[in-house]
């Protein structure tokens, strides 16, 4: 395993590592805000997702903390009041998704100079595969880091390895502004002590199930009997054991490949905990409408509805059921979610957040023929509502029942996007 940084970054190693790169932007949202606002540079900054200053920020969650803020123990997921307790001078910025997406597009254009094998993993992460480009991967990684710094004013960390699994592991080892190469043999050494939940692709629930049979590290996963893993996880057991041995045969997709949408969901944290069923129902209608609009935008319909309820004590539970016919209508999604909500009744605790998702997706039937012959008026109405909301802003037209949720605290984003919201001395 080799790390490259500082002066060494301009003198890349001559060894030829794997060809897969994993790029992860450093403290992405916060770093963009610092780059755009010189007064925030070098200061602790947190980016949050809602504008609730008048309510004391009690429900507002930190989505990204700058590295200056992280030195105070501020992490993604903590509340803004907790961040202010840890660092009274922390600057609070309401996030600007359009700004972050635009920066991501500019990042992608940099990466595409090297190969079309650029797979967008998230808004601030990408995989690349330089196989067949005749470029030295470490040299290319150093050039990319320099371009990101020069053209975007940001830093990134890059891992280089023989596959996506190892490249991502390498990229996480030296943040921020790191460049690490790793072979499979070097990865297997780290696997001896690497908690299994830190293996890319192993989720929390999978790690809990593995722990019950004495598997706590990545190496133990690789040595586990295949028969046991397949008994526990079915065909997924083959993949789990391979991952524990440092193997990953997932190819890096081309940038222009269409991503398969497997589910569409939306969730929201309530402004305050409540057991008021009328308010909860209004929130469900709001979520259902947003899920329905996204389904129609993607040209999808879904037949499996899932509802997740998180309580005030942060415990939660999920329910799902399959309907007879794929849906795109917010009203139909809402009715299905209400059937699931009844399984939670009577509520024994106050509710903190709600989420609805639709899966088992199929292409939506389209065309005027379908609209007129099958569902006529309702589908034409949805089409008109979608067009008006796209033109004049989300929720310009909405069901009257949603007003109950809005009165309880849901707000549109009021022009406070990407602005420095609090005087830290105030």
pLDDT in tens, 96-126: 888 999 999 999 999 999 999 999 999 999 9
Output the pTM of the full model. 0.72
How far, in Å, CA of 151 to CA of 105, rounded?
Answer: 13
Helix, strand or coil, per DSSP, at residue 361: strand
Q: Which residues have C-beta within 8 Å of that of residue 241, sequence separation ≥ 6?
A: 221, 222, 224, 226, 229
Q: Which of 56, 64, 55, 59 is nearest to 30 (CA)?
A: 64
What's the Rg (C-alpha) of the chain?
A: 24
How far, in Å, CA of 334 to CA of 282, rounded?
Answer: 10
The 10s digit of each residue's pLDDT in 342-381 is: 998 898 899 988 999 999 888 876 543 444 444 445 555 5
At residue 40, the pLDDT reads 96
At residue 367, the pLDDT reads 41
- The domain over range 188-244 is classified in CATH as 3.30.420.40: no
Average pLDDT for residues 129-149, to the nearest whole number? 95
Exactly one of 82, 119, 125, 373 is catalytic; which is it?
A: 125
Cis peptide before 136 (omega within 30 of 0): no
Domain assignments of the chain as residue spans, ordered by start: 1-182, 188-244, 264-408
Active site residue 125: yes
Q: pLDDT band for 415, please (50, 70, 90 cuts).
A: very low
3-state helix, strand, coil in the chain (%, to 5): 45, 20, 35
Q: What does pLDDT average to over the chain?
A: 83
CATH superfamily of 264-408: DNA polymerase, Y-family, little finger domain (3.30.1490.100)
- The domain over range 1-182 is classified in CATH as 3.30.70.270: yes
Rounded to 5°, the CA angle 105-199-25 comes to 25
pLDDT exceeding 70 applies to what percent of the chain? 80
Number of residues written out for the chain: 426
């Amino acid at each position: 395993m080799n790390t490259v940084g500082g002066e060494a970054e301009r003198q890349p190693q001559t060894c030829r590592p794997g060809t897969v790169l994993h790029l992860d932007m450093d403290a992405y949202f916060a770093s963009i805000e610092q780059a755009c606002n010189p007064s925030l540079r070098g200061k602790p900054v947190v980016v949050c997702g809602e504008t609730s200053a008048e309510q004391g920020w009690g429900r507002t969650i930190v989505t990204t903390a700058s590295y200056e803020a992280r030195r105070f123990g501020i992490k993604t997921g903590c509340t803004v009041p907790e961040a202010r307790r840890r660092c009274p001078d922390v600057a609070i910025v309401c996030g600007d998704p359009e700004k972050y997406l635009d920066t991501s597009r500019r990042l992608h254009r940099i990466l595409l100079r090297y190969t079309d094998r650029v797979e967008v993993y998230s808004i601030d992460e990408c995989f690349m595969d330089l196989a067949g480009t005749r470029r030295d991967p470490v040299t290319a990684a150093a050039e990319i880091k320099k371009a990101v710094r020069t053209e975007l004013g940001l830093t990134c960390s890059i891992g280089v390895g023989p596959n996506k699994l190892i490249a991502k592991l390498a990229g996480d080892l030296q943040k921020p502004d790191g460049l690490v190469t790793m072979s499979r043999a070097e990865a297997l050494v780290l696997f001896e002590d690497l908690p299994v939940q830190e293996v890319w692709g192993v989720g929390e629930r999978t790690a809990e199930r593995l722990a019950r049979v004495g598997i706590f590290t990545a190496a133990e996963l690789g040595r586990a009997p295949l028969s046991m893993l397949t008994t526990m996880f079915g065909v997924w057991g083959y993949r789990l054991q391979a991952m524990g041995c440092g193997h990953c045969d997932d190819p890096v997709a081309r940038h222009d490949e269409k991503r398969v949408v497997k589910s569409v969901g939306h969730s929201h944290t309530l402004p305050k905990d409540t057991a008021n069923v009328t308010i909860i129902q209004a929130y469900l209608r709001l979520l259902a409408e947003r899920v329905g609009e996204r389904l129609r935008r993607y040209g999808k319909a879904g037949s499996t509805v899932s509802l997740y309820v998180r309580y005030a004590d942060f415990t939660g539970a999920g329910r799902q059921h399959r309907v007879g016919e794929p849906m795109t209508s917010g009203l139909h999604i809402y009715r299905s979610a209400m059937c699931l909500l009844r399984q939670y009744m009577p509520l024994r605790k106050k509710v903190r957040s709600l989420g609805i998702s639709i899966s088992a997706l199929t292409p939506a039937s389209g065309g005027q023929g379908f609209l007129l012959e099958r569902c006529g008026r309702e589908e034409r109405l949805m089409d008109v509502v979608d067009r008006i909301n796209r033109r004049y802003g989300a929720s310009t037209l909405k069901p009257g029942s949603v007003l109950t949720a809005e009165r309880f605290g849901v707000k549109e984003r009021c022009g406070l996007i990407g602005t420095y919201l609090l005087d830290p001395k105030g």
